[in-house]
């Protein structure tokens, strides 16, 4: 509730001759009324989001103003004039190093879907001695970060003092290529799978990006030599790619995955609850808790922020977490926009829209198709989650576990819990995970 106040409005056709006014009629967060702004000195800045392909703050090409410092006394009206005189620089890839590469390729599939050029980006970490052994080929580890994690993170992962670098370059570490997928797209994080609104990301990743990387950096290029891992958003994506492409990948290591059963979409049962913001007892529904269990913020509060960020004052186009989920799992409306699963203001759930979401309910997919998927996923699914996950993600994992623990044929994977641990508990070391991956892919250890 103490977040810096934010106002937002749509400004189609804005130019230098007519100002865009943000006032008491604009979408606002976290205050209820602009008049509730406390007296004091404020730093004020304006940002105009113009990039249609990367829906995140400070996207290349976005315009912004210098910072104005103003004093508000809470009594007299005040007008603050801000000029959009600067722009975020055009995108440029970081410099490569011996073991780190940055990739940007044009996606034919996504370009055709969106009707304009769309690029795929990825960060690549090469195994030690990659350049010294030009005839050696390597298995592929596909890594997905948390919500909105960018591909440039590979640079941070490989900083000289990082624990990851020590594990990756250790003498006894198995050698493989790591690919970090990019968590930015026209509607926020695209979740790396085919969807009605984001487009054919799953096909683009498996048919365009991964083959390109394997050709370029000497990957083995077979399904038995590809694995996945990630946490939070990345945990769900790792599991989803494994489930949707059961033969293309050979194992998923997932930590605190986003909701894998939509009967426990955080604390929301999409099929039975009537309102996203208010629970069956009439109380505001929590969206996040702190380690002691106290509510950090509610569903309504979180979506109010996304309403300010989103076109049409709707969280569905915010580029935020709830907007990206709705774009990934939801249908595409006649207006070309994602169909809201609930009303942005009231939170009333549109149950007619939930059927499309069922296509991405991983527990439901597995349960309905286990006769086919069970043998193909044998030993491939591994999940870790804290029982006090900040976003209540443990509840959905429990529901998935209830099915998998009794599934026939047995899933022969692993699901592990940690009492009292929050988001994102990782119950395995980097070295242990890489060794498990290597054994799964039958890669000789050094």
Q: Is the pLDDT at 443 greater than 90, yes or no? A: no
Question: Cα separation of 326 and 353, whole Å?
Answer: 10
Q: Rounded to the nearest 5 degrees, what angle is found at the Cα of 357, between the Cα atoms of 182 and 252?
A: 45
Task: Give the domain ranges of the chain.
Answer: 1-90, 100-261+361-440, 263-359
Q: What is the pLDDT of residue 15?
A: 81
411 or 78: whose pLDDT is higher?
A: 411
The answer to whether 59 and 48 are in contact (CB under 8 A) is no
Class of domain 100-261+361-440: alpha beta
The two structure tokens encoding residue 363 = 């527990």
Q: Each residue of 195-254: pLDDT tens digit?
A: 999 999 999 999 999 999 999 999 999 999 999 999 999 999 999 999 999 999 999 999
Checking if the pLDDT of 338 tops 90, the result is yes
Please give the DSSP secondary-structure letter assigned to residue 36: G
Cβ of 17: how many Cβ atoms within 10 Å? 5
Say which residues have a Cβ less than 8 Å from residue 327's Cβ, sequence separation at least 6.
Answer: 187, 188, 195, 197, 198, 316, 338
Asked if the model's pLDDT at residue 365 lies above 80, the reply is yes
> What sign does the dihedral 193-194-199-201 (CA atoms) show?
positive
Q: What is the residue-averaged pLDDT of the chain?
A: 95
Strands 295-298 vs 68-72: parallel, antiparallel or unpaired: unpaired
What percentage of residues in the chain have a pLDDT greater than 90?
92
Of 6, 418, 434, which is closest to residue 178 (Cα–Cα)?
434
pLDDT class of 442 with cuts at 50, 70, 90: confident
Task: Average the pLDDT over 387-391 and give the result.
Answer: 97
Q: What's the pLDDT score for residue 74?
A: 80
Report pLDDT for 56: 87
pLDDT at 384: 98
Which pLDDT belongs to residue 240? 98
Q: Which of 15-29, 187-201, 360-374, 419-433 comes out lowest in average pLDDT?
A: 15-29
> What is the DSSP secondary-structure string of 388-436?
T-TT-HHHHHHHHHHHHTT-SS----EEEEETT--TT---S-HHHHHHH
Span 2-27, average pLDDT: 89
Whole-number Å distance between alpha carbons of 410 and 412: 5
For residue 258, give the nearest of 277, 273, 240, 272 by alpha carbon. Answer: 240
Measured CA to CA, the distance from residue 170 to residue 128 in angstroms comes to: 9
For position 200, what pLDDT does the model report? 98
Rounded average pLDDT over 327-334:
97
According to DSSP, residue 364 is labeled: H
The confidence band for 282, taking pLDDT boundaries of 50, 70 and 90, is very high
User: Nearest to residue 214, comparing CAs of 228, 226, 230, 201?
Assistant: 226
| pLDDT in the model for residue 76 | 86
Output the pLDDT for position 291.
Answer: 85
Q: How far apart are CA 437 and CA 432, in angstroms?
A: 9
* Model confidence at 444: pLDDT above 70: no
DSSP tag of 333: P
Q: What is the mean pLDDT of residues 29-47?
A: 93
CB 378 within 8 A of CB 409: yes
Mean of pLDDT values over 375-385: 98
Q: Are the C-beta atoms of 188 and 56 separated by less than 8 Å? A: yes
CA 206 to chain centre: 18
State the CB neighbour count (10 A cutoff) for residue 427: 15
Q: How confident is the model at residue 446 (pLDDT cuts 50, 70, 90)?
A: low
pTM of the model: 0.96
- 392 contact partners, CB below 8 Å, separation of at least 6: 264, 266, 267, 286, 289
pLDDT at residue 445 greater than cutoff 60:
no
Sign of CA dihedral 219, 220, 223, 226: negative
> Helix or strand or coil: residue 240?
helix
**Terminal Cα distance for the chain, rounded:** 52
In the prediction, which pLDDT does 14 show?
A: 81
Which structure tokens are listed for 31? 């205050």
Within 111-167, strands assigned E span 119-125, 140-144
Edge-first strand listing for the sheet containing 177-181: 100-106, 119-125, 177-181, 140-144, 226-231, 252-255, 381-386, 414-418
Alpha-carbon distance 101 to 152, whole Å?
Answer: 9
Q: Is there a contact between 47 and 56 (Cβ–Cβ < 8 Å)?
A: no
Mean pLDDT of 429-436: 97
| Higher-confidence position of 77 and 396 | 396
Using pLDDT thresholds of 50, 70 and 90, give the confidence band for residue 12: confident
Least confidently predicted of 35-39, 147-151, 282-286, 351-355? 35-39
201 membership: H or E segment, kind and range: helix 201-204
């Amino acid at each position: 509730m103490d977040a810096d106040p934010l106002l937002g409005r749509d400004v189609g056709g804005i130019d230098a001759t007519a100002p865009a006014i943000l006032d008491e009629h604009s979408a606002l967060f976290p205050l209820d009324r602009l008049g509730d702004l406390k007296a004091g000195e404020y730093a004020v800045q304006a940002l105009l989001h113009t990039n249609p392909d990367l829906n995140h703050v400070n996207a290349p090409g976005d315009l912004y103003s210098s910072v104005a410092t103003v004093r508000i006394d809470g009594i007299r009206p005040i007008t603050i004039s801000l000029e959009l005189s600067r722009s975020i620089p055009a995108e440029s890839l970081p410099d490569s190093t011996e073991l780190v590469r940055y990739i940007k390729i044009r996606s034919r599939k996504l370009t055709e879907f969106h009707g304009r050029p769309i690029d795929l980006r990825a960060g690549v970490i090469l195994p030690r001695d990659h350049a010294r052994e030009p005839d050696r080929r390597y298995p592929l580890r596909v890594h997905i970060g948390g919500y909105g994690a960018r591909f440039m993170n590979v640079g941070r992962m490989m900083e000289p003092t990082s624990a990851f670098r020590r594990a990756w370059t250790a003498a006894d570490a198995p050698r493989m290529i790591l690919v970090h997928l990019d968590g930015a797209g026209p509607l926020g994080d695209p979740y790396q799978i085919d969807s009605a609104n984001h487009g054919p990301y799953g096909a683009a990743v498996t048919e365009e990006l991964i083959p390109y990387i394997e050709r370029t950096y000497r990957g083995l290029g077979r399904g038995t030599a590809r694995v996945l891992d990630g946490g939070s958003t990345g945990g769900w994506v790792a599991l989803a790619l494994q489930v949707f492409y059961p033969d293309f990948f050979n194992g998923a290591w997932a930590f605190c995955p986003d909701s894998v059963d939509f009967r426990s979409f955080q604390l929301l049962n999409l099929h039975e609850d009537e309102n996203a913001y208010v629970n069956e007892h009439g109380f505001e529904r929590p969206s996040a808790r702190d380690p002691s269990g106290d509510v950090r913020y509610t569903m309504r509060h979180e979506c109010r922020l996304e309403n300010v960020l989103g076109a049409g004052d709707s969280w569905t186009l915010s580029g935020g977490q709830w907007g990206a989920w709705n774009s990934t799992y939801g249908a595409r409306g006649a207006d070309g926009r994602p169909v809201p699963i609930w009303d942005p203001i009231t939170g009333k759930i549109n149950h007619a829209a939930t059927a499309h979401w069922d296509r991405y309910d991983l527990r439901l997919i597995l349960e309905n198709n286990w006769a086919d998927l069970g043998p193909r996923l044998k030993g491939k699914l591994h999940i870790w989650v804290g029982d006090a996950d900040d976003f209540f993600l443990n509840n959905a994992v429990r529901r998935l576990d209830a099915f998998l623990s009794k599934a026939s044929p047995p899933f022969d994977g692993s699901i592990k819990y940690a009492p009292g641990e929050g988001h994102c508990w990782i119950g395995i070391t980097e070295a242990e995970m890489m060794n498990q991956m290597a054994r799964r892919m039958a890669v000789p250890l050094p």
